[in-house]
Amino acid sequence: MEYDILNRIHTPEDVKSLSREEVYTLAAQIRAFLREKVLVTGGHLASNLGVVELSIALHRVFRSPHDHILFDVGHQSYVHKILTGRADRFDTLRTPGGLSGFTKRSESEHDPFGAGHASTSVSAALGFAEADRLAGSDAYTVAVLGDGAYSGGLVHEALNNCKKKLNLIIILNENEMSISPNTGVYATQISRIRNSEEYYRVKRGVSCLLQKIPLVGGSLFRLTARLKHTIKVLVYGSNYFEDLGLYYLGPVDGNDYDMVERVLTEAKLTGRTTLVHIKTTKGKGYAPAEAEPERWHGVLPPGADIHRNFSACMGEALCALAEQHGDLCAITAAMSDGTGLEPFRKRFPDRFFDVGIAEGHAVTFAAGLAAAGLRPVFAVYSSFLQRAYDNILHDVALQGLPVMLCVDRASLSGGDGPTHHGIYDVALLNTVPGMEIYAPATFDRLRDFLRQGYERALPCAIRYPNDAEFPLTDFLTMDVLRYDFAGKNPDKVVITYGKIVTEALRARDEAEFGIILLEKLAPYGRCADEIRRILPEGCRRVLFLEEGIYAGGAGMLLREQFPEIADFRILAIKDSFADGVAGQTLYESCGISYRTILEELDR
């Protein structure tokens, strides 16, 4: 497709200058552009195809960056990026140093708040709106919230704190989960009437007229409003948002541009904190994505290595364990497919729980199950586990409850970047008394640790990357580690765990040193005992290599166990959120690549 109109769009002002016919053409060109680019780079496709009309309307009705537009999660912000001058960078999408797959403050003035994790937009938007109120600003703040993110408790905490009169507009984009009781043909017709331009005009006119009646106008207006609300509750039932004091508009067809622009314009005129409820189709305009929106939610670039990974193995192993133990349960926070739990969901539906995007609740819920005599396993991405630290510490560990955490994506995330790097979980879990931490290198070892975790009945975490087994052909296996000294007595040894062992193996192609791969981290005293048993007598330098943060990491805690080794160095991620650098691998930009390993060993 020719991008004649899209190529003219460099700022939101360019969007405002378009005719209505050009807007429709722009929407079609954006969808074609997204398909062309995202199917090459990989990324979130279906969700962005669904919000094309909404994103265009946002930039025609509001004035970014004066008005603040916040996207929850940010994975549906690609159209927003296109409309704010970043279309020419889409070839670099989700690459180190390239265009982020989420909103990012350092990337553009039109990204007022960075995202990547769900359910944060309303809290942040409320902060912007209150700040503008205190400053006397006329700016609007708009939060775009998906129905998936709406399941997170943080959203409801923020809604509970929203004042009635703020320049705050919350857009609830419903595309999968039905949360509205207004279904059927009659409700659809009423919705069309309520969201017509004439309805809004008459409603404002009547309200203005009533309030102008001398002496009784204000009272009459309030009485009419209460009567209207009472009748509506009797006919439709109570509306959660209106019960919270929000002004509610919708639901409207979020893929009908005219309706979307009209309802957003009306939202600006209410003078109140308003919730706009729209319904969109994920994958709109691309038949495969419309038919299977979950499959096309996130796509991989062509040629990506789709191999059997730890997630799939964990799901299968957990099913096998559940066949033997009827008290074993599985929990996910809206990630059953990504964490490998989909087979468990199908085979053991009564013992499977999807709590939505609510990781803190998931952990405390697991603690409740465990306290009641069941054996829960919570499978969660490393970067999302961070949100449940208090629950792990207070509700699980303090009570010594047998909750097993399967920590997925425990490594650097090349595509999703800093918001999804699994580099903090070890340092986080190290602070939890009694927590055992496993790091299997093979699928067989993962199965063993799942079984051990069940049998030991203690709080534990099993961490692994989104990858295949590690190539460890010549490694000898012990209880908590593997090692390979190449049949020699090396004077230098690299100790590591997790996926980064591949960098150590690459470095050893160019130098001689031994490698110790830990498969159980905490308790660290046990690791130290086993390392001490095999460490060569002539070893004069130990380098601990860690694909995680330096402060509080495994390297720091293990070094305390070896006061007798004077030259014990740590190579880890220091003082950085590991934001990639263009032209470098993430290992290079974090200073933990095979080249850095060689440099440290030679110093």
Q: Are residues 148 and 285 in the same domain?
A: yes
Return the minimum-mean-pLDDT range out of 128-142, 149-163, 230-244: 230-244
Q: Give the residue from 279, 299, 319 where a domain finishes.
A: 299
More confident: 213 or 175: 175
> Which CATH number belongs to the domain containing residue 151 in this structure?
3.40.50.970
The answer to whether residue 8 is catalytic is no
- Model confidence pLDDT, tens digit, residues 518-563: 999 999 999 999 999 999 988 999 999 999 999 999 999 999 999 9
Strand 514-518 relative to strand 481-484, pairing: antiparallel
pLDDT of residue 177: 40
Looking at the fold, whether 34 and 114 belong to one and the same domain comes out as yes
Q: Please indicate, yes or no, whether residues 355 and 281 belong to a single structural domain of this protein.
A: no
When pLDDT is cut at 50, 70 and 90, the band that residue 575 belongs to is: confident
pLDDT in tens, 483-508: 999 888 899 999 999 999 999 999 99
Is there a single domain that holds both residue 249 and residue 147? yes
CA distance 599 to 603: 6
User: Does residue 199 lie within any of the structural domains?
Assistant: no
**Considering the domain boundaries, does residue 423 fall inside one?**
yes
Q: Is residue 219 part of a domain?
A: no
pLDDT mean over 343-354: 97
Token pair, residue 587, equals 């290992």
Q: Residue 387 catalytic?
A: yes
What per-residue confidence (pLDDT) applies to 486?
Answer: 84
Domain end point (choices 299, 319, 339): 299
Domains in the chain, number: 3
Question: Is 329 in the same domain as 286?
Answer: no
Residue 572, both tokens: 């880890």
Is 138 within the bounds of a domain? yes
Q: What is the CATH number of the domain that holds 535?
A: 3.40.50.920
| Strand-pair category, 404-408 with 375-381 | parallel
Asked whether residue 469 is assigned to any structural domain, the reply reads: no
Secondary structure of residue 52 in the 3-state scheme: helix
101 and 44: one domain?
A: yes
Domain span at 430: 310-463
CB under 8 Å, gap of 24 or more: what pairs does 588-591 form? 589/96, 589/97, 590/412
Does some domain include residue 212?
no
Which one of the listed residues 174, 261, 266, 359 is annotated catalytic? 359
pLDDT digits (tens, 9 = 90+) for 41-91: 999 999 999 999 999 999 999 999 999 999 999 999 999 999 999 999 999
User: Are both 495 and 523 inside the same structural domain?
Assistant: yes
Whether residues 448 and 590 share a domain: the answer is no
Q: Could you give the strand order of the β-sheet that contains 520-522, starting from the edge strand earlier in sequence?
A: 352-354, 328-332, 375-381, 404-408, 460-463, 436-438, 520-522
Does a structural domain hold residue 211? Answer: no
Q: 403 and 423, same structural domain?
A: yes
Which helix H or strand E contains 526, and what residues bound it? helix 524-534
Query: Is 224 part of a structural domain of the chain?
Result: no
Residues 22 and 165 both lie in one domain: yes
Has residue 372 got a pLDDT over 80?
yes
H and E: helices and strands count for the chain = 25, 20
Which residue in the list 94, 104, 279, 387 is annotated as catalytic? 387
Domain identity same for 269 and 325: no
Per-position DSSP letters for 189-243, written without gaps between them: HHHHHHTSHHHHHHHHHHHHHHHHSTTTHHHHHHHHHHHHHHHHHHHH---HHHH
% of the chain beyond a pLDDT of 70: 89
CA–CA gap between residue 377 and residue 366 (Å, rounded): 7
Say whether both 263 and 129 belong to one domain: yes
Of these ranges, 230-239, 391-400, 468-477, the one predicted with the greatest mean pLDDT is 391-400
Q: How would you classify residue 420: left for phi > 0, otherwise alpha for psi between -120 and 50, otherwise beta?
A: alpha
Three-state SS at 248: strand
Catalytic-role residue among 262, 282, 375, 559: 282
Q: For residues 271 and 266, what is the distance between their CA atoms, to the nearest angstrom?
A: 10
- Spatial neighbors of 417 by CB under 8 A, at least 6 apart, are 94, 100, 101, 102, 116, 579, 580
271 vs 197, residue with greater confidence: 271
| HEC readout, 412-458 | CCCCCHHHHCCCCHHHHHHCCCCCEEECCCCHHHHHHHHHHHHHHCC
Least confident range of 4-8, 203-207, 532-536: 203-207
- Digit-coded pLDDT (tens) for 322-333: 999 999 999 999
Average pLDDT of the chain to the nearest whole number: 90
Inform me whether the pLDDT recorded for 214 exceeds 80: no
520 is catalytic: no
153-189 pLDDT tens trace: 999 999 999 999 999 999 999 986 433 333 344 334 3
Give the whole-angstrom CA distance, residue 199 versus residue 419. Answer: 43
